[in-house]
Homo-oligomer: A and B are copies of this chain.
Amino acid sequence: MIRYLTAGESHGKALVGILEGMPAGIKISSEYINHQLWRRQQGYGRGGRMRIESDTVEILSGVRFGKTLGTPISLLIHNQDYNNWREKMAVEGSGGSVERMRIPRPGHADYVGAVKYGFDDLRDVIERASARETAMRVACCTIVRKFLEECGIFIGSHVLSIGSASLADRADTDRLIKRYTSKASCAAYKVTELADRSPVRILDHRTSERAVAAIKKAKKAGDTLGGIFEVIVTGLPIGLGNYAQWDRKLDGLLAQALMSIQAIKGVEIGDGFEMARRHGSQAHDPFVAKGKRIDRSSNHAGGLEGGVTNGQMLVLRAAMKPISTLAKPLKSIDLDTLKPTPARYERSDVCAVPAASVIGEAVVAPALASAVMERFGGDALDVIQTHIKSK
């Protein structure tokens, strides 16, 4: 079982992560992780912070001479902006002279956190509720992802829509993806590389341009945009996950992982909500024999039946709401006076869907890797690889 915990406030000293339960012998480098951190910071529509900070990870334990030791891997990402926040975010001292934040932003945890903990400074909430935390989630999960790659399992993603700029012809994109997936187990990675070439990670060129224009317009209006992204996984063997108990179903675990990303409000598997509109005769994936191999003539299920992988490409989608911090702020109230006032503006993005898609790639890895280890268990990578091959 793989566990990971993250820690760290948005403007504190550092983000910290501990990843527990990885097999020994996985090749990993900070460079490999940094590449994913870099991808998480890209995308048209990001705010100022992305320009001033370039996240780099420091591996503090669990790796020796470039390989995992089977021991807990701890990671550190220094907040480069911390120097400007030393006083406001001091661990010690009374903070007596630091201004309290008292105007909650709708859509954020500001208010609920203050009620929950009895804080009188909203900063005590927003520093951790911030999506900045996902940098460490990506760092931890990237190691898990490397393990999956060593097992022949590859994760990718692309963006389907930003605001109303949506793929005109989904079939086109599907054909594009299929072109890759028919070739190799690493197909998902190839798709994600292709998506990385677009500033908004949309595979269709014209839709990509429309999305950029929409973001530009929203920015000018002091507004923000959300969107939908898709995570795909190729190379998955049949039989990962479990139908025997509700909390071991892979569909539930993957939904949790995606829904727990900040600002995600919807998750779909395979044809998802569209499935609800169809007849059964059009919704499932018939079995066909290709020589001695059993195959399917479609993939409406998105690779999961009964909460278990069926050997087809895993297809997950998530809907991200528009960023809650607007340059032209939403209506709020001052908690001290209860008088109406605009929400406070804190430097933010206009659109972060491309980043969210990269985060989505990362967070699905632990559930998949735990399922791999349950089915092909072993303490070291080479043993697990042998177990996989022997099936």
Contacts and interface: CB of A to CB of B under 8 A. Distances in A.
Secondary structure of the A contact surface, majority rule:
mixed
Interface stretch (A147-155, A181-189, A199-207, A221-229): A221-229
Given A29-B92, A128-B244, A256-B259, 12 more contacts: A17-B18, A65-B92, A106-B286, A111-B294, A163-B279, A252-B257, A255-B256, A259-B267, A266-B276, A287-B333, A294-B333, A378-B387
B5 A5 contact: yes
A34 interface: no
A55 B262 CA distance: 37
A294 B166 CA distance: 37
Contacts of A6: 18, 72, 245-246
Interface in A227-281: 227-228, 238-239, 243-247, 249, 251-260, 262, 264-273, 275-281
A7 interface: yes
Interface stretch (A46-54, A115-123, A169-177): A115-123
B60 A16 contact: yes
Copies of the polypeptide in the assembly: 4
B266 A267 contact: yes
B116 A226 contact: no
Contact of A292 (B89, B221, B270, B338): B338
A180 interface: no
Contacts of A379: 116-118, 239, 374-375
A61 B69 CA distance: 26
Interface stretch (A36-44, A190-198, A304-312): A304-312
Contacts of A69: 9, 117, 124, 127-128
B386 A322 contact: no
B61 A331 contact: no
Contacts of A76: 16, 60, 76
B276 A271 contact: no
Contacts of A347: none
Listed residue (A161, A328, A382, A383) with the most chain B CB atoms within 10 angstroms of its CB: A383
A330 B256 contact: no
B378 A375 contact: yes
B71 A244 contact: yes
Contact of A65 (B93, B226, B289): B93
Given A267-B267, A377-B376, A284 B330 contact: yes
Nearest to A66: B92
A20 interface: yes
B129 A243 contact: yes
A252 B266 CA distance: 10
Contacts of A320: 275-276
Nearest to A29: B92
23 contacts: A8-B61, A65-B94, A70-B244, A108-B306, A116-B379, A118-B383, A129-B306, A225-B279, A226-B280, A252-B256, A255-B258, A255-B259, A259-B267, A265-B273, A267-B268, A276-B319, A280-B323, A280-B326, A281-B330, A287-B331, A287-B333, A289-B333, A300-B321
A292 B309 CA distance: 44
A101 interface: no
Contacts of A254: 259
